[in-house]
Amino acid sequence: MVDLFTRTIGEYTTGRKGPLLFVIGGIHGNELSGVLALRKVFEQLKASAPLDFCGKIVGVHGNISAIRLRQRYVECDLNRLWSADEIERVKKLPPAARKVDERELIELLAHIETEFSKEYTDIVLLDLHTTSGPNGLFSIISNQKPNQVLASALHAPVLFDLAHALSTNTNRFMDEQGIKGIAFEAGQHDDPASVDNQESAIWLTLDKMGMINSESLAFDMDPYHRQLITSSSQLPHFVRVIYRHAISPEDQFHMYPGYNNFHEVYKGEPIARDAKGEILCPFSGLMLMPLYQSQGSDGFFIMEKLWESPL
């Protein structure tokens, strides 16, 4: 049993030179599917050794303090601290003045910096999440072609133009560090399928990065392809965020119940109320629920389906 309260969930390498896949589970403490999936992947890697494997995979807990409490964060959202400006601000604070989640950032960054400073042929960061609403299965990427190639390998919808609406998440960090990566939303928080989706995403990323030899008998990738292809079968492949409805607490925003992610909505459809009255949907498209509804400044997003990648 892995101690839940250490930073590292697992590491695996055969010593052969290659890329680094750095995976974070539980940046939000109530989203444990990534942590559970990482444990399964490391158990399987260790049970199957020796393997045709190159490079190194590292899996870590994101916000340990929040994971202990099984809540999104303790004092502030760790997933909104990843811009260079925020990191610099937090680093400059005297340690005693840092919030709990800011201390988590400092510890996590120390771990990342140590790992990233080693010799690798490539570095990819996979940041594992789940959503409060149903159908929350998609990859969030910054609009860079190598990220889209990686995300496409996971079969789930690829969301363009959300990463910069949520400007201080890990996508921003990936771009500023000059590394590739994906924030992967694997489904609803406590749905057991979310763990299977996360596990599949990790294996398919290892395969896409060329770290495992999927031609060898030790690795049968088909179950992981099947898991994500069937889970995504009713969902579009490429989507772009075209509208964000910003809210503040004074708005008393209330969305009418029943919407899911990717729910088709039309221009003029009454979809919510606030202190000023009923809110009509401003565009026809697909609904994207806020990643965290009862807090934060996102009411909802509208997406449009794309028939091909814009990159």
Closest distance of CB 26 from Zn ion, Å: 9
Per-residue contact flags (x/-) with Zn ion for residues 52 to 81, judged by CB under 5 A = ------------------------------
Closest distance of CB 57 from Zn ion, Å: 21
- Looking at the Cβ atoms of 10 and 290, the one nearer to Zn ion is 290
Closest distance of CB 31 from Zn ion, Å: 5
How many residues in the shown chain lie near Zn ion by CB under 5 A? 3
- From the list 11-19, 26-34, 213-221, 278-286, the region that binds Zn ion by CB under 5 A is 26-34
Question: Which of 22, 28, 166, 272 forms a contact with Zn ion (CB under 5 A)?
Answer: 28
- From the list 21-29, 113-121, 198-206, 209-217, the region that binds Zn ion by CB under 5 A is 21-29
Nearest residue relative to Zn ion (C-beta): 129
Per-residue contact flags (x/-) with Zn ion for residues 30 to 49, judged by CB under 5 A = -x------------------
Closest distance of CB 27 from Zn ion, Å: 6
Closest distance of CB 211 from Zn ion, Å: 25
* Contact status, residue 66 vs residue 72, Cβ threshold 8 Å: yes
* Contact status, residue 267 vs residue 287, Cβ threshold 8 Å: no
Phi-psi region of 155 (alpha: psi -120 to 50; beta: other; left: phi over 0): left
Closest distance of CB 135 from Zn ion, Å: 15
* Contact status, residue 125 vs residue 179, Cβ threshold 8 Å: yes
189 near Zn ion, rule: CB under 5 A: no
CA distances 22 to 28, 161, 202, Å, are: 17, 23, 10
Per-residue contact flags (x/-) with Zn ion for residues 103 to 132, judged by CB under 5 A = --------------------------x---
Contacts with Zn ion by CB under 5 A lie at: 28, 31, 129
